[in-house]
A and B are shown apart, each in its own frame.
Chain A
Amino acid sequence: MRIDLALYGPVAAPLAAALLAVLLPRRLAAFLSLLAAGAMLAAALVLASRTAHGETVVDGLLRADALTSWLLVTVGAVATIACWAGLHHLRDEADAGHLAGRSARRYLVLVQAFLACMAVAVLSANLGVLWVAVEATTIITAFLVGHHRTRASLEAAWKYVVLCSIGVGIAFLGTVCVYAAAVATGASGLHALDWTFLREHAAQFDPRLMRLAAGLVLLGFGTKAGLAPMHAWLPDAHSQAPGPVSALMSGVLLAVAFSAILRYRAVFDAALGPGYVRALLLVTALLSLALAALLLIGQRDYKRLLAYSSIEHMGLVALGTAIGGPLALSAVLLHILGHGLVKAVAFCSAGQLLHRVGSSRIDAVRHAVATVPAVAAPFGVALVALLAMPPFPLFATELGLARAGFTAGYGWAIGVAILLVLVAFGAIARHGLSMLLGSSTPDHSPAPAPSAADVTGGAAGAVAGAGPVAPAGDAAPTGDAEPTGDAAPAGGVAVLTAEHGTVSEPAHGRPYRVGLRWVPLTLGLLAAAVVGVWLGPLAPLLDSAARIAAGQ
């Protein structure tokens, strides 16, 4: 029997790397993890070329169509960025003395196992196996969230496991309901959970049972996809995990969980007509957008800021899915890829920023463009991309969503969504500007807000010139410690100077090396920018994938 490498590769490569990470020296294992992510991307691209025109590759429990390939390309690309940035993360942790050898090894093994589970979830032909893989991602990432073993990270891990286990348990109840409906029509065994079978025979299923199942599946996988009202674990988990892990969780795990909803949706629509799932999705989408927008305004922590931005973007993805049709769904799928790439860069650079500054508070970072340019530049550009500025793909996709929504007669929903996205835009822009360009004295009047183009230009310039770090002294005026007689509390100033202290003098005396840490981040941003302008050979794949997601 010939084993289909492209089909099994995305699962086998990270699994092999996980096993080898147990045995090999740590540095070699870290390098292998990057190699495995690259292999995943390569296999995904091979699958993409084989399924781009609507073909299906099936073997045993695994199955790949254009939608699978599209999601796998996303997972592979984001994994490559995150594993590459992970190399620098591990070295930073080792330099700071936070990370013993065993802990680094555990990190490498768990990240690879996590990647393998996501590949299984995307590739599984069987909705039962899909559920098992999604639940497995929760268990594996729990240890990664609690990696730092601080009180906050253990709390986040606890909430994550309890809430997601219960949430995904609800999805399993939904899966059992679908299974019961299929069994009642005469199917049995694994066949009764096979996606292709379900989609073809859903019209005969009992509608009452399918309505119950649809609600349970949406609520359950919605938990894992970070959609309101079951999102409470997300800001905690994504802000406490190490940067590259947050990148994977935010960039692709949410999308993988959402892809389960995309798969089920085709089944439910065949059984119930499009109205029922659409109404549920519209409610959860607008709720997620509203919640994210409100909580972004007063946010004080920049990793939580990125986490809430993920809820916002998943809300947009759900909105597009609710609208339905190939136009909206191709926007949704491109949004998933674009958001994955950009959010990965944002979280990886936020992790480096946290390492440099020693605090994830927004007001602990001021004028980062001058103090930590090599980190601030990719962070800034990623924020600009998250705000849906051209040439990044989120610009095109949000426009596409709006057009599709108005065409389909959901103008009111799009109107509300645009309003909420604008609120989120304002909040992220304000916080981002104060971190990157804000004056280092709190009582100083804010500088006139430069346009986003300025930010891009400045940040891009800084990427180009990412040499040795500029001395931190010139950005931290020494006169800060004096009380200014203003209402500004002196405590804030003291914190600020203390933070600057950690910047200029790393804890263990090792000088901070900029090195090549900007390479994966710049590559990620470049890839996002290219995809935003020109899809090239991926264009037919996106078309086929959108048609499959739209149930055609």
Chain B
Amino acid sequence: MTADQLFDLAFNLSCGLLLLTAVGTLWRREVSALITILVVQGIALTAIAMLLASRQEDGAEAVWVAAGVGLVKVVIIPLLLLRVQRLVPGARETRPLANVASSLLAAAVLSLLAYAAARPLAQVSTLPTARATPIGLALVLIGFFLAATRQRAVSQIVGVLLVDNGIAAIAFLATDGVPLIVELGVSVDLVLAVLVLQVLTARLVQTFGPTDLDDLRELRD
């Protein structure tokens, strides 16, 4: 097997894993399962970043970006999510607005939509990997769907993370990744956002018992 074939194999496998894990978040409801799925997705994303970095002639910066992405998505954020889970042990999505079957159907429709919408991105980019950008957009759309149809605090955080993973995937596939300083800022913002959500969950649990965001209905007109 030549190096190119190996690259293609690893690349296609990683892209497939991204999409599969996105659908997996709709399929499983236990918080612990969702965290595992996100770790796998983080590994796939890091693998894509590393593979692309290996292709660049001057890839030192790209390797740093990939390592940073791996650290954030595979280590830091799952650890924060585990702390959220410890606050609400045994939590699972009890009352999603869409059941598993219709969620999976929606994921199929969203993926088709992503292929249609991402065409300009795939066509404009000069990179051969840009053909995979629809997968990133599918992640974004499935993330929206998850955040909109789930009630549990953790599920909404997972939705936000899915959107972010999708955008990061698009950035890597269509442009070889955004500049280091921007990626650094984005990662710090993401970690802090999850930290804020964790602290807010802790305060909610501390003051009002287990968080069911469905009960957060005080503020409305």
Q: Which residue of B lies closest to A304 (CB)?
A: B221
| B140, B163, B207: the one within 8 Å of A149 (CB) | B207
Contact B196 A128 (CB under 8 A): no
Say if the beta carbon of B120 comes within 8 Å of chain A.
yes
A424-459 vs B, Cβ < 8 Å mask (1 yes, 0 no) = 000000000000000000000000000000000000
Cβ-defined contact, B170 with A176, below 8 A: yes
A166 touches B147 (CB 8 A): yes
Which residues on the A side are within 8 Å of B174 (C-beta)? 176, 180
Pick the interface stretch among A50-58, A132-140, A272-280, A374-382: A132-140
With A139-B192, A212-B121 in contact, is A154–B160 under 8 Å at CB? no
CB atoms of B182 and A180 under 8 A apart: no
Which single residue of chain A is at the shortest CB-CB distance from B213? Answer: A158
Closest to A186 in B: B126
Among B181, B186, B196, B199, point to the contact of A190 (Cβ < 8 A). Answer: B181
Is A183 a contact partner of B125 (Cβ separation < 8 A)? yes
Closest CB in chain A relative to B209 CB, distance in Å? 11
Tell yes or no: A45 within 8 A of B by CB: no
Compute how far the CA of A183 lies from the CA of B120 in the bound complex, rounded to whole angstroms.
Answer: 14
Closest residue of chain B to A235, judged by CB?
B221
**How far apart are B175's CB and chain A's nearest CB, in angstroms?**
5
A19 at the binding interface (Cβ < 8 Å): no
Question: Is B64 an interface position by the 8 A CB rule?
Answer: no
Known contacts A184-B125, A208-B120, A212-B120, A161 near B200 by CB under 8 Å: yes
Q: Check B193 against A155 for contact (C-beta < 8 Å).
A: no
In the complex, which residues 150-202 of chain B have their Cβ closer than 8 Å to any Cβ of chain A?
Answer: 153, 156, 159-160, 163-164, 167, 170-171, 174-176, 178-179, 181-182, 185-186, 188-189, 192-193, 196-197, 199-200
- Verify if A286 is at the interface (C-beta below 8 Å from B): no
| Residues of A with C-beta under 8 A to B153 | 158
Q: Does A157 sit within 8 A of B, measured CB to CB?
A: yes
Query: What chain A residues lie within 8 Å of B179 (beta carbons)?
Result: 128, 189-190, 192-193
Q: B218 contacts the other chain (Cβ, under 8 Å)?
A: yes
Q: Are A165 and B193 within 8 A (Cβ)?
A: yes
Interface residue ranges of B15-47 to A (CB < 8 Å): none
Residues of A within 8 A of B175 (CB): 176, 179-180, 183
What residues of A have a CB within 8 angstroms of the CB of B199 in the complex? 143
**Residue total for B at the interface (Cβ-Cβ under 8 A):** 47
Q: Is the CB of A173 within 8 A of B170?
A: yes
A209 within 8 A of B: yes
Q: Is the interface of B mostly helix, strand, loop or mixed?
A: helix
Question: A158-B216, A206-B124, A209-B124 are known contacts. Are A193 and B167 too (CB-CB below 8 A)?
Answer: no
A132-B182, A139-B196, A206-B124 known; A155 vs B147 contact (CB < 8 Å): no
B contact residues around A538 at 8 Å (CB): none
Within 8 A of B (CB), among A131-178: 131-132, 135-136, 138-139, 142-143, 146, 149, 151-152, 154-159, 161-162, 165-166, 169, 172-173, 175-177
Q: Are B207 and A169 interface neighbours, CB within 8 A?
A: no
- Cα A126 to Cα B179 with chains together (Å): 11
B125, B159, B185, B197: the one within 8 Å of A132 (CB): B185
In Å, the complex CA distance between A236 and B179 comes to 35
Partner of A135, one of B178, B189, B197, B200: B189
Q: How far is the CA of A162 from the CA of B160 in the complex (A)?
A: 7
| Cβ proximity bits A115-141 to B, threshold 8 Å, 1 near / 0 not | 000000000001011011001101100
Residues of B within 8 Å of A166, CB to CB, are 143-144, 147, 159-160, 163
The reply to whether B147 and A236 form a contact with Cβ atoms under 8 Å apart is no
Pair A139/B189 contact, Cβ less than 8 Å:
yes
User: In the complex, which residues of chain B have a beta carbon less than 8 angstroms from the beta carbon of A49?
Assistant: none
Query: Are B196 and A161 in contact, CB atoms less than 8 angstroms apart?
Result: yes
Assess the A209–B120 pair: CB atoms within 8 A: yes
Contacts of A126 in B (CB 8 A): 182
Residue from A61, A142, A146, A184 with most neighbouring chain B CB atoms (10 Å): A184
Answer whether residue A504 sits at the interface, using C-beta atoms and an 8 A cutoff: no
B144 closest partner in A (C-beta): A166
In the complex, whether A299 has a CB less than 8 A from a CB of chain B is yes
Given contact pairs A190-B182, A206-B124, enumerate 8 new A-B contacts (beta carbons under 8 Å).
A132-B182, A135-B193, A154-B200, A159-B219, A161-B193, A162-B147, A173-B167, A180-B121
| Interchain residue pairs with CB less than 8 A apart (14) | A129-B181, A132-B188, A139-B192, A142-B200, A151-B208, A159-B219, A165-B160, A165-B193, A184-B124, A189-B179, A190-B181, A193-B179, A235-B219, A299-B221
Chain B residues within CB distance 8 Å of chain A: 117, 119-121, 123-126, 140, 143-144, 147, 153, 156, 159-160, 163-164, 167, 170-171, 174-176, 178-179, 181-182, 185-186, 188-189, 192-193, 196-197, 199-200, 203-204, 207-208, 213, 216, 218-219, 221
User: Which 10 pairs of residues, A with B, have the shortest CB-CB distance?
Assistant: A132-B185, A128-B182, A208-B120, A155-B216, A135-B189, A206-B124, A236-B219, A180-B174, A209-B120, A139-B192
